[in-house]
Amino acid sequence: MKKTTIGIIGLGKMGGNMALQAIDKGYKVAGYDLNSYPELQEYGLTQAPDMDSLVAALPSPRMVFIYVPAGAVIDRIIEQLSTRLEKGDIIIDGGNSYWGDSVRRAQALKEHEIAFVDCGTSGGVDGARNGACFMAGGEPEAMDHVAPVLRDLSVENGFVHTGGPGSGHYVKLVHNGIEFGMLQAIAEGMDLLSHYREELNFPEILKTWNHGSVIRSWLIELMAKTYDEQQGFENVPSYIEDTGEVNWLVADAMRMEVPVPVIAQSVMQLFASRKPGSIADKAIAMMRNGFGGHPFGPDEGIRYERKYGKLENIESSYLYKKKPE
């Protein structure tokens, strides 16, 4: 199949690496960004100075990928494109937009006879450069043009047409929620390993887990790699930053009355990472002191009762006793 020229708005980590991969796959790429990227231009990308020049560089039907953060900026870009594109052209939002916004945008563009594809993209920066995973929603006519490009830019079997407009970003949002639950489970497992009665060899355990075990995964691989690079946990801050997309999923689940306790709790635990000595913790301590005379702060007697006093059925409290030297 003859490779066409595609447009990419947003040439940062995701859009820039996607452009490099597309060039490797034989596509011509015209890009637009407020910043200049000479390294991309040297690789073969044509960086347009403005939106008009970008649109003029693309053959019909034009395909314009957007790789910028979710939010109002997407609407501004779409508004600018809608006055420049023509009937049958296609806008593809490859970011983490909310699926409800994608439904709205598709309906608005339909009035201009411009197609909209919401394309959830997974695999991170490495995937953008070497083969991503795409979950794309859109009308069949638009997907006839977009699907071959996405298949070229994905890993093997890493593309799915999920359904109509909005479905791609919905599937990606659910994917992100599952990711949060998996991250939380792995993190809790690491914490449990660190509490064993003797020091365990984390790198070797992680290596073994990723060879034949049920939980082998890219996340375990990344955990092992970063643990080695950072030489343990000591120099890594506990504060977890996040752009908040999974919050949308939890809100959707509540409206749909679908129970998602693991995903919801993983979001709550993420919030907890940001609030050392939070007012909520202080308020609970106040109330416990009020109704039960429970002390403020650590208490060795209570700690001993918690760790040893309720373990009569666990022989010698082996979980908590250090291995003899």
Q: Are residues 32 and 158 in the same domain?
A: yes
Q: What is the pLDDT of residues 211-249, one digit of tens each?
A: 999 999 999 999 999 999 999 999 888 888 888 899 999
Within a domain: 126: yes
Does a structural domain hold residue 203?
Answer: no
Strand arrangement of the beta sheet that strand 63-66 belongs to = 46-47, 28-32, 5-9, 63-66, 90-93, 115-122, 132-137, 154-163
pLDDT at 318: 47
Mean pLDDT of 267-281: 84
Domain boundary among 137, 168, 199: 168
pLDDT, greater one: 190 or 307: 190
305 is catalytic: no
pLDDT tens per residue across span 17-67: 999 999 999 999 999 999 999 999 999 999 999 999 999 999 999 999 999
Q: How many domains does the chain have?
A: 2
Based on the domain organization, do 18 and 139 belong to the same domain? yes
Q: Residue 317 — pLDDT band, cuts 50, 70, 90?
A: very low
Q: CATH code at 32?
A: 3.40.50.720
**Which is nearest to 24 in space by CA: 9, 40, 1?**
40
Instruction: Give helix 167-194 / helix 261-272 axis angle, nearest 10°.
Output: 60
CA distance 153 to 150: 5
In a domain, 65, yes or no: yes
67 assigned to some structural domain: yes
- Which of these three, 168, 187, 214, is where a domain ends? 168
In a domain, 79, yes or no: yes
pLDDT at position 302, please? Answer: 82
Residues 6 or more apart in contact with residue 16 via CB below 8 angstroms = 31, 37, 40
d(CA 112, CA 94): 21
Kindly tell me if the per-residue pLDDT of 2 is higher than 80.
no
pLDDT for residue 164: 97
Give pTM, 2 decimals: 0.89
- Could you tell me if 15 and 160 lie in one domain? yes
Per the annotation, the verdict on 179 as an active-site residue is yes
- Given the structure tokens 């009355």, which residue do they identify? 257
Q: Both tokens of residue 151?
A: 């298949």
**290 domain residue, yes or no:** yes
- Amino acid present at 297: G
Of 142, 168, 194, which one is at a domain's C-terminal end?
A: 168
> Where does residue 102 rank: exposed (0-12), middle (13-18), buried (19+ CB within 10 A)?
buried
In a 13 Å sphere around the CA of 113, the CA atoms on its Cβ side amount to 4
In sequence order, what are the residues at sequence separation of 6 or more whose Cβ sits closer than 8 angstroms to the Cβ of residue 106? 115, 116, 118, 138, 165, 166
- The torsion angles phi and psi of 83, rounded to 5 degrees, stand at -90, -5
Residues of the domain holding 46:
5-168
Residues 147, 294 share a domain: no
pLDDT confidence tier of residue 316, bands split at 50, 70 and 90: very low
Residues 298 and 163 in one domain: no
- Whether residue 284 sits in one domain with residue 164: no
DSSP state of 324: P
Distances in Å between the Cα of 180 and the Cα atoms of 51, 176, 257 are 37, 6, 20
Same domain, yes or no, for 21 and 155? yes
Q: Is residue 66 part of a domain?
A: yes
- 162: nearest Cα among 135, 143, 141: 135
pLDDT at 187 over 90: yes
Q: Hey, is 117 helix, strand or coil?
A: strand
Nearest to 184 by CA among 262, 260, 272: 262
> How many whole angstroms separate alpha carbon 40 and alpha carbon 29?
10
Task: List C-alpha distances in Å: 11 to 7, 16, 33, 51, 111.
Answer: 11, 4, 6, 14, 29
Catalytic residue among 28, 139, 179, 221: 179
Q: Does 325 reside within a domain?
A: no
Tokens of 325: 């030297």
Residue whose pair of structure tokens reads 């490779």 in the numeric block: 3
Residues 15 and 164 in one domain: yes
